[in-house]
Amino acid sequence: MNRNMKKLSKKIVTRFAPSPTGYLHIGGVRTALYAWAYAKKNNGTFILRIEDTDKEREVEGSISHIIESLKWIGINWDEGPDIGGPNAPYKQSERLDSYKKYAQILIEKGLAYADPYTQEELESFRKKADEEKRPFLYRDHRPENPPVWDGSQPLRLKIVDIKQSEWFDEVRGKLTAGEEALDDFILIKSDGYPTYNFCHIVDDLEMSVTHIVRTDEFISSTPKFLALYDALGIERPYFVTLPPIMAPDGKKKLGKRDGAKDVLDYKKEGYLPSAMFNFLAYIGWSPEDNREIITPEEFIGIFDLARIHKSGGGFNIDKLDWINREHLKKLSYEEQEEYVFKYLPDSLKKLPTLTNSIIHSITPIVMERISKGEDIVKMAEDGELAYFFEKPIYDKESLFFKSSKISESDKYKTLSSYLEHAVFILTEIDERSFLKENIKEKLWSYAEEIGRGDILWPMRYALSGLDKSPDPFTLAEILGKSETISRLNTAIELLIK
């Protein structure tokens, strides 16, 4: 049977198998995403399995964190520790009996043996190999009469066929490794827990996993896995090796300092899960067409192992920001309003002037200026939002345009008369037509007459108290007729005081 026929006849089963050793970073989520999408695309099964046999490295709370992170991004599983399933349990620490069962099978076949050596003995073998300038290989010291395995000694695989390894990877094609990659490795440690090398293979077998989707750090151990598949007489699964996620400079693998942080930190910063999904999907894969914005459904529809890249894709936060902006644009107006409100600081939220209608009005202004929720927090911290809700406080000199044509001698009086005239024009506008285009139209000829900067700048300053803010027409519309006029009057009073 060729590979494709085999593929057609078997239900596709993939799994994500994280170790609960801390928070889930974006690399882990990307692995889960590809494994999940492949199963979904093929009406297969996606399993979440927790690989918790290294009790020393386990960090409390990691499992719920993993679950929360995957759910946030929209990945769901058909079987897993929280929902059970036909292959339960889904935590390796609860599957020790299975590993013992397969260990026993290997012992009976003469393919596994108890390791009788003490640490000191192993050390002396290692030292001797070093002195003789040859690699230390456990298989050079196989005991002639190993003791009966009682669980207190490590159990090792006896690799009888020491040969060059060759296998096929769905992404990288044919891979090979020399004999030196094979040595009698530990299956079960003296503490009773299996090694990753052993138990993931037993689990994949029992859970009928067809495709192993994981990153490239497991390539060097694959010859050992192959030896174990052979020893157990089981068919090899498909290997799908994802490229690593690289640091922004593209030269090294992404480390914690370059942004490989807790995926839920991105949630806190205001990235949308759909944007994070989109961003991760493209690190290491690209579609046939050149679209850059994609929904999870579209991704599932077009995801293909053949389009996974061989080499690592860089982590580019600017790209993530851009994608987030694109996804924010796709939200409904109401959702955008909720988003803006969510990131306003409590100090603003509790102001009586913070009304739904102001939030409604400032939403497009805020959305235009941000990439993510945290930018709204920053805008507020920089005072770029408070003036919508509170009268600004400023110094009267700031009301003068820097290239003002107003003569020094009577400048306060002149500017106040300009503003008074502006107030007069605005008063004439009906409240319902107090809209930026209309305000602009009504003020424009007067502004041209006296010099635009000499009225638009002071108006803007009177309304916002800031050098940089939206134009005065937009501000006036958002603040409404009476608040706009009241702020302009405050400026006039300040000038003639």
Closest contact distance (angstroms) between CB of 86 and ligand GLU is: 20
Contacts of 279 (CB under 8 A, 6+ apart): 319, 320, 323
Confirm or reject binding of residue 156 to ligand GLU (CB under 6 A): no
Q: Which among 13-21, 282-290, 315-323, 333-341 is the span making contact with ligand GLU, rule CB under 6 A? A: 13-21
Confirm or reject binding of residue 18 to ligand GLU (CB under 6 A): yes
Q: Would you say 52 or 337 has its CB closer to ligand GLU?
A: 52
Distance between CA atoms of 247 and 258, rounded to whole angstroms? 6
Q: Which among 16-24, 260-268, 320-328, 476-484 is the span making contact with ligand GLU, rule CB under 6 A? A: 16-24
Q: Would you say 33 or 447 has its CB closer to ligand GLU?
A: 33
Task: Give CA torsion, residues 261, 68, 272, 246, to 10 deg.
Answer: 30
Q: Would you say 125 or 196 has its CB closer to ligand GLU?
A: 196
Q: Can you say whether the dihedral through the CA atoms of 248, 249, 250, 252 is positive or negative?
A: negative
Catalytic: 256? yes
Closest contact distance (angstroms) between CB of 235 and ligand GLU is: 17
Residue 254: which of 317, 321, 305, 306 has the closest Cα? 317
Confirm or reject binding of residue 62 to ligand GLU (CB under 6 A): no
Residue 175: which of 222, 212, 109 has the closest Cα? 222
- The answer to whether 442 and 429 have CB atoms below 8 angstroms apart is yes
Closest contact distance (angstroms) between CB of 67 and ligand GLU is: 15
Q: How many residues bind ligand GLU (CB under 6 A)?
A: 7
* Site track 179-208 with ligand GLU (rule: CB under 6 A), x = hit: -----------------x---x--------
Question: Residue 41: is it exposed, middle or buried by C-beta count within 10 angstroms (0-12/13-18/19+)?
Answer: middle
**From the candidates 256, 402, 468, 497, which is the catalytic residue?**
256
Distance between CA atoms of 29 and 72, rounded to whole angstroms? 11
Q: Judged by CB under 6 A, which of 12, 13, 14, 17 binds ligand GLU?
A: 17
Closest contact distance (angstroms) between CB of 470 and ligand GLU is: 49
Residue 296 tokens, joined = 């999870």
Kindly identify the residues of this chain, within the stretch 203-262, that bind ligand GLU according to CB under 6 A: 214
Would you call 229 helix, strand, or coil by DSSP?
helix
- The answer to whether 422 and 440 have CB atoms below 8 angstroms apart is no
Closest contact distance (angstroms) between CB of 18 and ligand GLU is: 5
Confirm or reject binding of residue 19 to ligand GLU (CB under 6 A): yes
Closest contact distance (angstroms) between CB of 189 and ligand GLU is: 16
Q: Which among 11-19, 123-131, 363-371, 395-403 is the span making contact with ligand GLU, rule CB under 6 A? A: 11-19
Q: Which among 17-25, 60-68, 272-280, 287-295 is the span making contact with ligand GLU, rule CB under 6 A? A: 17-25
Q: Would you say 91 or 452 has its CB closer to ligand GLU?
A: 91
- The answer to whether 90 and 50 have CB atoms below 8 angstroms apart is yes
Give, to the nearest 10 degrees, the angle between helix 317-329 and helix 273-281.
Answer: 130
Q: Which among 12-20, 149-157, 359-367, 467-475 is the span making contact with ligand GLU, rule CB under 6 A? A: 12-20
Confirm or reject binding of residue 51 to ligand GLU (CB under 6 A): yes
How much of the chain is in helix, strand and coil states, percent to nearest 5?
50, 10, 40
Would you call 162 helix, strand, or coil by DSSP?
coil
Provide the H-helix boundaries in 308-369.
Answer: 317-329, 333-342, 346-349, 356-369
Which of the residues are catalytic?
256
In the complex, the residues that contact ligand GLU under the rule CB under 6 A are 17-19, 51, 196, 200, 214
